[in-house]
Chain A
């Protein structure tokens, strides 16, 4: 478990993990047509708990004949969800910056 930042709490670490997951999902989408490619995803909870390697292989809904386990519908949904969560984390940080700035200015 990483120590939360005194100003931004867990948000900084979460943002970094969201970015990492974005890369993994982009890798899956790029390899949608590569035979034998196994889709991977980040176990976000494990990663946030400080696991050294939280990357897991995706279990496909339906296996394909060429050994590729990328399912575009699944990847697209996860990618969109992750992008929204990235932006959410970002807005938490922005909100925190606003609060701290207001405190620094003493309500001026």
Chain B
């Protein structure tokens, strides 16, 4: 396996955080959306992060994107066009507060990776100018 550079580490960290941010956006966009059956209801997406080791260093990759296991909430709403025979609709089990917290944390960790990359860049440029 090829050794990781500082840029690889930070870039793959940023990419993983971006996937996480995308799942948060999907979940928030579908908060409160309803479906005609429990199976058809939207399930929140959660990325599964896994560490990749190479040459003593480590970076992160998104192993897969899992669907949440929380059951959809049943709401009695006979007037709804999607209501089933019992007059129920199924609401996506998105916890908006949790998603907002996730979004804030993702933004923070993304920014940290950007900072690592910026610092590595200036240090490498300074090293190139060594002795001048």
Residues of A at under 8 Å CB distance from B?
15, 20, 22-27, 29-37, 40, 55, 72, 75-76, 79, 83, 86-87, 90, 93-94, 97-98
Q: Tell whether, in the assembled complex, residue A31 and residue B60 are in contact, meaning their CB atoms are under 8 Å apart.
A: yes
Q: Tell whether, in the assembled complex, residue A76 and residue B105 are in contact, meaning their CB atoms are under 8 Å apart.
A: no
Residues of B within 8 A of A35 (CB): 49
Q: How far is the CB of A98 from chain B (nearest CB, A)?
A: 8
Q: How far is the CB of A41 from chain B (nearest CB, A)?
A: 12
Residues of A within 8 A of B4 (CB): 23, 27
Which of B56, B58, B120, B130 contacts A31 (CB under 8 A)?
B58
Q: Tell whether, in the assembled complex, residue A90 and residue B130 are in contact, meaning their CB atoms are under 8 Å apart.
A: yes
Residues of B within 8 A of A26 (CB): 6, 9-10, 57, 116, 120
Judge whether B108 is part of the interface by a CB distance below 8 angstroms.
yes
Describe B's contact surface by its main secondary structure.
helix
8 residue pairs, one from A and one from B, having the closest CB atoms: A30-B13, A97-B131, A27-B58, A34-B49, A26-B9, A23-B57, A26-B116, A27-B57
Residues of A within 8 A of B109 (CB): 29, 32-33, 72
Q: How far is the CB of A67 from chain B (nearest CB, A)?
A: 12
Judge whether B112 is part of the interface by a CB distance below 8 angstroms.
yes
Known: A23-B4, A97-B131. A72 touches B123 (CB 8 A): no
Residues of A within 8 A of B112 (CB): 29, 32, 72, 75-76
Residues of A within 8 A of B116 (CB): 25-26, 29-30, 79
